[in-house]
Structure 1
Amino acid sequence: MSKDFKKYLILGFLFFFPIFVYVFLSTGINNFAKLPVLTENVKDIKNIEGNILETSFKDKISIVAFWGGDINKKKSEALNLNQKIYKRFYEFQDFQFVVMHNKTESEAIESLKNELISGVGTDLEKWNFISTTQSNIKMIFESFNTNIELDSNYSTPYVFIVDRDLSLRGRDDDEDIGMLYGFNSQSVAEINNKMVDDVKIILAEYRLALKKNDSLFYE
Structure 2
Amino acid sequence: MKKNLVLFILFVLPIVAYLFFASGVNSFITLPTITPTIPNVDAQWKTLNDKKVTLDAKITILGFAGENIMANSGNFFTLNQKIYNKYREFKDFQFVFIAPEGTEAQAQRLLKELDALTDVSGYHFVFAKPEAIQAYHAQLKLLGKLDDNFGTPYVYIVDKKRNLRGRKGKSDQGKPEYKEGYNTTSAADLHNDMMDDVKIILAEYRLALKRNNADRKI
In the TM superposition, what is the alpha-carbon distance from 1:179 to its structure 2 partner? 1.3
Q: Which has the higher contact order (CA 8 A, sep 6+)?
A: 2
From 91, 104, 119, give the equivalent of 1:106.
104
Question: What aligned pairs does 1:135-150 form with structure 2 within 5 A after superposition?
Answer: 135-150=131-146
Structure number with larger C-alpha Rg: 1
1:133 aligns with 2:129: yes
In the TM superposition, what is the alpha-carbon distance from 1:178 to its structure 2 partner? 2.2
In the TM superposition, what is the alpha-carbon distance from 1:28 to its structure 2 partner? 5.2
Is the Cα–Cα contact under 8 Å of residues 60 and 95 in structure 1 kept in the other structure? Answer: yes
Q: Distance in 2 between matches of 1:196 and 1:109?
A: 24
Partner of 1:194, secondary structure, is helix
State the identity as a percent: 34
1:205 alignment counterpart: 204
Gaps of 5+ in 1: 1-18
1:73 alignment counterpart: 71
1:9 alignment counterpart: none
TM-score when scaled to structure 2? 0.83
From 164, 172, 182, give the equivalent of 2:168.
172
Is the Cα–Cα contact under 8 Å of residues 55 and 160 in structure 2 kept in the other structure? Answer: yes
1:158 aligns with 2:157: no
Q: 1:215 to 1:25 in 2, by over 3 A?
A: closer
Q: Distance in 1 between matches of 2:206 and 2:54?
A: 20
1:58 alignment counterpart: 56
List structure 1 segments (4+ residues) > 2 angstroms apart after TM superposition: 22-32, 173-178
Report which of the two has the higher share of helix.
1
Aligned residue pairs, count? 198
Question: What aligned pairs does 1:25-104 form with structure 2 within 5 A after superposition?
Answer: 25=13, 32-51=28-47, 52-104=50-102
Q: Distance in 2 between matches of 1:85 and 1:167?
A: 19
Is the Cα–Cα contact under 8 Å of residues 15 and 207 in structure 2 kept in the other structure? Answer: no
Q: 1:107 to 1:90 in 2, by over 3 A?
A: same
In the TM superposition, what is the alpha-carbon distance from 1:84 to its structure 2 partner? 0.6
* TM-superposition CA deviations, 1:39-86 (whole Å, max 9, x none): 112010051421431111110000001012121222111001110100
Is the Cα–Cα contact under 8 Å of residues 68 and 134 in structure 1 kept in the other structure? Answer: no
| Range that drifts further, 86-95 or 168-177 | 168-177
Q: Distance in 1 between matches of 2:159 and 2:176?
A: 22
From 113, 116, 126, give the equivalent of 2:114.
116
1:193 alignment counterpart: 192
Q: Distance in 1 between matches of 2:131 and 2:201?
A: 30
The one-letter code sitting in structure 2 at the alignment partner of 1:129 is F
Q: Distance in 2 between matches of 1:173 and 1:189?
A: 21
Q: Distance in 1 between matches of 2:91 and 2:29?
A: 21
Is the Cα–Cα contact under 8 Å of residues 42 and 140 in structure 1 kept in the other structure? Answer: no
